Amino acid sequence: MTNRTFTMIKPDATEKGSTGAILKMINDAGFRIAAIKMTHLSKEKAGAFYEVHKERPFYNELVDFMSRSPITAAILEKENAVEDFRKLIGATNPANAEAGTIRKLYAASVGENAVHGSDSDENAKIEGDFFFSMLEQF
């Protein structure tokens, strides 16, 4: 059990200029930023990040979307980080997300859903290490 999770602010949110507002919600919810960077994923890198979804029908759409515009990747720290962050972002499909969640406020569809949040401590570590070297994690 760790107290860290990993997030990406996705291309749709970048394009709409929502990055700052989303970071403020994350900050206000009590998460400390332990690493952060803005970057533009190549199709190859986006495909590697979502390798686990390779067999899903939406995989190609997801890779195209995630490599369309820059993203902001971050490692976040807080007690119970993974679970609390999933609560803050809301359901995968914003139509099902609770009021006040990041996806309810900033996402348009199940595919273009504004933010990523790790689903386990194990994946949080793998995903954080995908973007940040040990020298970049504070």
CB atoms within 10 A of CB 96: 11
Going from the C-alpha of 112 to that of each of 32, 78, 119, the distances in angstroms are 25, 26, 18
Contact pick of 61, 98, 122, 129 for ligand GDP (by CB under 6 A): 61
Question: What residues contact residue 49 under an 8 Å CB cut-off, 6+ apart?
Answer: 41, 66, 127, 130
Measured from the CB atom, the residue of 27 and 96 that comes closer to ligand GDP is 96
Measured from the CB atom, the residue of 92 and 137 that comes closer to ligand GDP is 92
**Mask for 62-101, x = binds ligand GDP (CB under 6 A):** x-----------------------------x---------
116 given a catalytic annotation: yes
Element (H, E) at 61: helix 59-66
Could you say which of 10, 68, 78, 116 is catalytic? 116
Question: What residues contact residue 125 under an 8 Å CB cut-off, 6+ apart?
Answer: 2, 4
Does 111 help bind ligand GDP (rule: CB under 6 A)? yes
Binding positions for ligand GDP, rule: CB under 6 A: 58, 61-62, 92, 110-111, 113, 116, 119
